[in-house]
Structure 1
Amino acid sequence: MTVPLRVGIIGAGPRGLTVLERLVAHAVDAGSPLHIRIVDPYAPGAGRVWRTDQSPHLLMNTVLEEQTVFPDAACDVAHGGTGPTMAEWAESAPPAGRFPQRRDYGRYLAWSWEQITASAPDHVEIVHEPFEVTTILDAPSDAQTLRLSDGRCVDVDAAVLCVGHIPAALSDERTRWRRFARDAGLAYLPPGLPAETPVDTLRPGEPVLIRGFGLNFFDLQALLTHGRGGTFRPAPERGPLALTYTPSGDEPILLPGSRRGVPYRSKPITPAHPLPADPEQQLRFFTPETIARLPLHGDGLRFDAQLWPLILADLRSAWYSTLARTRPDVFAEDPSKLLGALATGVERVVAEGAAHESERWHIREERVLRAEVIAAEPHLVFTMRRLLRPLGDGSFPDRGSLRAALMEFLRTDLEESLIGPAHSPLKSLFPVLWQARALLKELVVDDRLAPASFIREVRGWFEDFVSGLCDGPPPQRFAELMALAEAGLVDFAGPQVRITTSRPGEPGAFIATSPAAPGSLRARALIDASSPANRVQQADDSLIRGMLDRGQLCAAAHDLEDGTRVPSSGLAVTGSPYRTLDAQARVHPRRYCLSLQLSSVQLGLAIAANPDTDAQTLRDADAVARAVLGLD
């Protein structure tokens, strides 16, 4: 009798599910018996993040058409076409641009689990173990022993870590906040999944400081308004998607603040998903062909000096092409002169490494645009400063002025999202950055960037810049936020927000201040809505923390040209199929990682696989499956 190959997949969320699907798909080529244990205390498929029992008020920030578990014809893997996309799975075709409930994605993932397990050939056995893996031990026989939270031990020949978000140890600052809240009888809710945040402890009518203005904030906003019985009603006389809010009386008063002081920009409405479908929105300058012409320096390409000028040219091209179609009155000369100057400038960047080429582009803009129009409508000019700092660099005379500026930001961004990339210069940047991030991700995977540039430039500023324009909430969340502010249930803490605590002898409170506005906001509750750090060195779980402490895993580090060694957020791994390294830099031949912990070698790990894109996530899962089965 042939001894079966035993595989353990730790984590049954989307990443673990894609590995399982690829193992089952390739099992026909392997031929020999295959025993797969997929270990997760949560339901397989949906996992912890996409649980099907979470609130219906929580939405995805991507549309139905952007999700798939199964590789399609565009994906460069064997045995594709094994299942539907989420849109194909849906019972009826929804209108374009619909943002599903998070639990609907969980239902799709749960259905995919059932489909994959039901389609497995007879020689493949799949078992879901509804427990945690607390430890992985290396057995003398080359097997790995998974110790489960119920006390049992399971031996496997190969282990795949798909653990997703892991608990993180609190920073010193957060530890102080927690201690202060406990001693003063206040509420401090640390970072976590909004669906698991104990918002029921927050009192109606009382202010709540919220540190962070990203997607977690909007989930919390929904739970504390919709989720407490309040009602949003359309107000079409005030504009498309405009809303009013009728409180239930159970809502707290929300006081969000963050480094930029504004939320990520809302997703534009467009029928093309994944983006782009319009040839006008294709990248023209930041392309594999242009990148191949760039000179190499030392240990790789430089992002700021070589790649960013190409992306910037595409951003300017998209902006002014859209502006030329929608506002031809803005141009004093033929807009094609400006676009031609961009092409000439890119050639200088490629051939000469022209460091200040973007300054020449700005001069060309001033010549081509009508001065009187720009003086009246300065927002029609493309400027990075305005994109990076939407509230500007100055301060406001009072908090009312800050509030008015925030409301204007929300209103104009919502209007731009509703007309979409084809008609909004601002939203035309969305498909450009979407594509640029995908291509940059391939360059990172192929190890073509200089480590210093990857750490200090891509990670240092570009990632956050792209997220601010591409990773925001559905447009309706902006409409809801404005309605809540008008109902007196939201105020804004401002940019560069600083959270401190009251002094001894004062009434206990958390205090938010911003250099952009006078005064302060005080509250007896603080929610830390920052996104999880996902830094393995801060891991506070039994599995990853324990393996790091025992030297079975190692946090990655980047060696820079000057001899500096910079720690990374992810695990030390090989290239694809991402075998793990131990503390002595030894490769484990049968242990793989496919999750957020690949951040040392990849970008955009939180992004789901998109149909029709040759998705990196699915190719990675395929490479792991083939390696496990010995097919390479």
Structure 2
Amino acid sequence: MHVAIIGAGPRGLVELQRLVEWQRQTKRFERLQVTVIDPYGVGGRVWQIDQPHALLMNTNPNNVTLFADHTDQITGPIVTGPDLYDWTQRDARDFIVEHAPAQSAALLAEIAEIRPNGFASRSLYGAYAAWFYAYVLKSLPDSVTVRLVQEEVRAVTPQDGQYVVATAGPTLLADKVVMSLGHTEDELSPEQHELARFAQEYGLHYVTPTHPQEYDFTAIKAHATVILRGLGLNFFDAVTLLTQGRGGRYFRGDDGLLQYQPSGREPQIVAGSRRGFPLRAKGVYTTAESDFVGQFVNMDWINSFTEPGSLSGKELLQRVQREIEYAYYQVLLPERYPDADAAALLANFAETGRSDHLIEVANVRPEDQFNFDEQLNPEKKYPYSDQRDVMLAYLTDDVRTAQRGTKEGPTAAALEVLRDIRNDIRAIVERRLLSGDDYYHYILSTFKRADGYLAVGPPDTRIEELRALVQAGVVTILGPEMAVSFDTQAGRFKTWSKTYPQTQYFADCLVEARLPAINAETTINPLIRSLFDQQLAHPQAIDVEGDAKKTGAVAIDPVRSQLRPGTVASQGIFFWGVPTERENWFTTTSPHPDLPDTVIKGADRITAQIFGTVE
């Protein structure tokens, strides 16, 4: 049996270990050969050791692993091992010293100070991935061979019950293929084509959506104005590279607030987005994820729905909002209203699904009441956000909210619910419990926007740094409804806020500060295009009000990770990961320890099919 794994990021590495451990336990094949193919090598494109060390993960190191554990709902063997944090305390130093990667000194300094609920560098996770790969290879059964091919896969073609895997270098013949892909580049949109054409004509610098570790800012001169479109995770990475990456440093002022000392080599950064506010900081993690038990959204409730389309999207979002409110008041009442009978009031809330009784009996002040609309639309609380003092006030509040932590901070605890219920939402999506209409309108539109803003933000330290940069005048945040265009008379890009259009900014550099969109129809990835050309793969479409709406995902069976609608020719191909986002829910996370993990479960399901234990 020859299995080709395309992609050596976390999913590909987990799949590799699943194959090895299944073979060790079952001895199913006389010989098992596994070829891992990735042009970037172990860690894939995102988790390279030699990327700028200042770039951070946005998940705590004690919440990241590549190993299965006894909480995982899998049928295959469980071989436990250290999570990222435990690895830094046990094996990391020896591995880094022995292999001496380019950033050894920085990595060794990092592991000496890392906290379990802090945030590791992405290069450290890359080192963990490299160690994991070496760990798997060190104890291979005699019947297993593994090799790594650092090439891009151009096509996979069925041939006589096997698959020809064509790369830019060697061509392989495999019995099964597991495609574990990440974000891929897209064709430029009409607007991006125009911006690129303008940049070329006038000698400007235009950066299309890409991975932040690949940004090349060498052409950007000190004090030049740079426009960053987007206030998400890529924005923070770009800002880090243009400030710390150019020698700037942070220090504590006499007032205890973080301040920025410029190096003199920074550009002037102007940034914005539709909302006009950066993603919310992640709350300092002080509770265990496995401790969460939903009052309104939980597996008992989900299991009461057995038919596809039987769950109301409106009811689901109402329950999510109640779950968030419940978590908020669970922390708020003991802290600020100690005379209230919190247990009784929360029990009433859980039973009735209404918070008004709790608010009335505890006499919760208006400013202490949870306001979901205000959380989603911060401009309502912070109008005139284009003014520096207003943005500073918002960022200061966000830092304080995050640093109070998920155990003692009511708002941080409330927003943490969006991460706690991810497995519940995944189960709903996998089982197709929502109708096409409800899934499209309530989940892919309303909920995804809220979750993307409130629950996938940067470490609190990044917001604190941004506050210092805004105060120092290095970064300017536009108000809501950012607009970008170009001025042929000036020969420069320009940007402004449609909400506050009185001020316009001109620049020679425009950066699309975001990853490429997940869109199967516009991807330029040659492997995915080849699958479409051969009719082996198709874009996902869902029925919305009688119309087939494309979601951007590659259509798969989310349980079996096989291409839909499926043919005899595609039966040996398994496809999972980021390009299936919307067929699956939230595919961009690495495996988590100490709770049932979908990456571990997905890899085990694929392996069970390869080993012939699933029909």
Q: Quick check: TM above 0.5? A: yes
Of 546, 562, 568, the residue aligned with 1:579 is 562
8 Å contact from structure 1 (residues 59, 100) kept in 2: yes
Structure 1 residue ranges, 4+ long, deviating more than 6 angstroms after superposition: 584-587
Q: What is the TM-score normalised by the length of structure 1?
A: 0.88
1:431 Cα deviation from its structure 2 partner? 3.0
Aligned mates of 2:468, 2:583 — CA distance in 1: 42
1:579 Cα deviation from its structure 2 partner? 1.3
Aligned mates of 1:550, 1:177 — CA distance in 2: 33
> 2:416 aligns to what SS in structure 1?
helix
Match of 2:121 in 1: 101
8 Å contact from structure 2 (residues 230, 272) kept in 1: yes
**Structure 1, unpaired ranges of 5+:** 347-357
**Is it true that 1:238 corresponds to 2:255 in the alignment?**
yes
Match of 1:250 in 2: 265
Letter paired with 2:55: L
Match of 2:98 in 1: none
Letter paired with 1:591: I
Moved more, 506-515 or 614-623: 506-515
Change (3 A) 1:198 1:39: same
1:467 Cα deviation from its structure 2 partner? 2.6
> 1:498 aligns to what SS in structure 2?
strand
1:539 Cα deviation from its structure 2 partner? 0.8
Letter paired with 1:17: L
8 Å contact from structure 1 (residues 11, 162) kept in 2: yes
Of 204, 220, 230, the residue aligned with 1:212 is 230
Of 557, 573, 577, the residue aligned with 1:595 is 577
Moved more, 384-393 or 181-190: 384-393
Q: What is the TM-score normalised by the length of structure 2?
A: 0.91
Of 525, 533, 540, the residue aligned with 1:541 is 525
Letter paired with 2:40: Y
8 Å contact from structure 1 (residues 399, 518) kept in 2: no
Of 295, 303, 308, the residue aligned with 2:313 is 303
Alignment of 1:253-272 (within 5 A): 253-272=268-287
**Is it true that 1:446 corresponds to 2:410 in the alignment?**
no
> 2:286 aligns to what SS in structure 1?
coil
> 1:536 aligns to what SS in structure 2?
coil
8 Å contact from structure 1 (residues 67, 86) kept in 2: yes
1:519 Cα deviation from its structure 2 partner? 2.1
Deviations 1:500-551 (A, max 9, x none): 211x333423223331463222222111012321111111122112221332
8 Å contact from structure 2 (residues 276, 481) kept in 1: yes
8 Å contact from structure 1 (residues 208, 524) kept in 2: yes
8 Å contact from structure 1 (residues 255, 492) kept in 2: yes
Match of 2:36 in 1: 38
Of 137, 140, 154, the residue aligned with 1:117 is 137
8 Å contact from structure 2 (residues 436, 543) kept in 1: yes
Letter paired with 1:472: G
Letter paired with 1:433: L
Aligned residues: 589
Change (3 A) 1:290 1:163: closer
**Is it true that 1:138 corresponds to 2:145 in the alignment?**
no
Alignment of 1:100-499 (within 5 A): 100-139=120-159, 141-150=160-169, 152-235=170-253, 237-239=254-256, 242-273=257-288, 275=289, 277=291, 282-293=293-304, 299-304=309-314, 306-328=315-337, 339-346=346-353, 361-362=355-356, 364=357, 367-368=360-361, 370=363, 373-374=365-366, 378=367, 380-392=368-380, 396=384, 399-400=386-387, 403-499=388-484
Match of 1:25 in 2: 21
> 2:185 aligns to what SS in structure 1?
coil
Aligned mates of 1:291, 1:136 — CA distance in 2: 38
Aligned mates of 1:319, 1:91 — CA distance in 2: 34
Aligned mates of 1:336, 1:629 — CA distance in 2: 51
Letter paired with 1:135: A
Of 2, 6, 29, the residue aligned with 2:2 is 6
1:321 Cα deviation from its structure 2 partner? 2.2
Change (3 A) 1:125 1:586: closer
Deviations 1:155-178 (A, max 9, x none): 111111112111111111111111
**Structure 2, unpaired ranges of 5+:** 91-110
1:54 Cα deviation from its structure 2 partner? 0.5
1:300 Cα deviation from its structure 2 partner? 2.7
8 Å contact from structure 1 (residues 70, 85) kept in 2: yes
1:623 Cα deviation from its structure 2 partner? 0.8
Aligned mates of 2:290, 2:73 — CA distance in 1: 20
Of 529, 537, 561, the residue aligned with 2:513 is 529
Letter paired with 1:157: D
8 Å contact from structure 1 (residues 96, 270) kept in 2: no
Aligned mates of 2:468, 2:195 — CA distance in 1: 31
8 Å contact from structure 2 (residues 54, 245) kept in 1: yes
Change (3 A) 1:291 1:547: closer
> 1:73 aligns to what SS in structure 2?
coil
8 Å contact from structure 1 (residues 514, 520) kept in 2: no
Letter paired with 2:193: T
Aligned mates of 1:65, 1:344 — CA distance in 2: 34
1:338 Cα deviation from its structure 2 partner? 5.0
Match of 1:15 in 2: 11
Deviations 1:273-294 (A, max 9, x none): 5x254xxx53222122234456
8 Å contact from structure 1 (residues 414, 478) kept in 2: yes
Aligned mates of 1:48, 1:292 — CA distance in 2: 38
Letter paired with 1:134: R
Deviations 1:471-508 (A, max 9, x none): 11111111111111111101111211111211x33342
1:116 Cα deviation from its structure 2 partner? 1.0
8 Å contact from structure 2 (residues 206, 511) kept in 1: yes
Match of 1:55 in 2: 52
Aligned mates of 1:190, 1:496 — CA distance in 2: 20
Aligned mates of 1:470, 1:202 — CA distance in 2: 32
Letter paired with 1:130: Q
Alignment of 1:559-570 (within 5 A): 559-560=543-544, 562-570=545-553
Letter paired with 2:369: V
8 Å contact from structure 1 (residues 574, 587) kept in 2: no
Change (3 A) 1:335 1:27: closer
> 1:244 aligns to what SS in structure 2?
strand
Change (3 A) 1:174 1:585: farther
8 Å contact from structure 1 (residues 391, 405) kept in 2: no
8 Å contact from structure 2 (residues 444, 582) kept in 1: no
> 2:542 aligns to what SS in structure 1?
strand
Deviations 1:114-134 (A, max 9, x none): 111222211111111111111
8 Å contact from structure 1 (residues 576, 624) kept in 2: no
Aligned mates of 1:186, 1:408 — CA distance in 2: 35
Change (3 A) 1:410 1:276: farther
Aligned mates of 1:394, 1:500 — CA distance in 2: 27
Change (3 A) 1:138 1:291: closer
Aligned mates of 1:513, 1:63 — CA distance in 2: 34
Aligned mates of 2:32, 2:568 — CA distance in 1: 27
Aligned mates of 1:57, 1:394 — CA distance in 2: 31
Match of 2:495 in 1: 511
Match of 1:558 in 2: 542
1:8 Cα deviation from its structure 2 partner? 0.9
Moved more, 315-324 or 470-479: 315-324
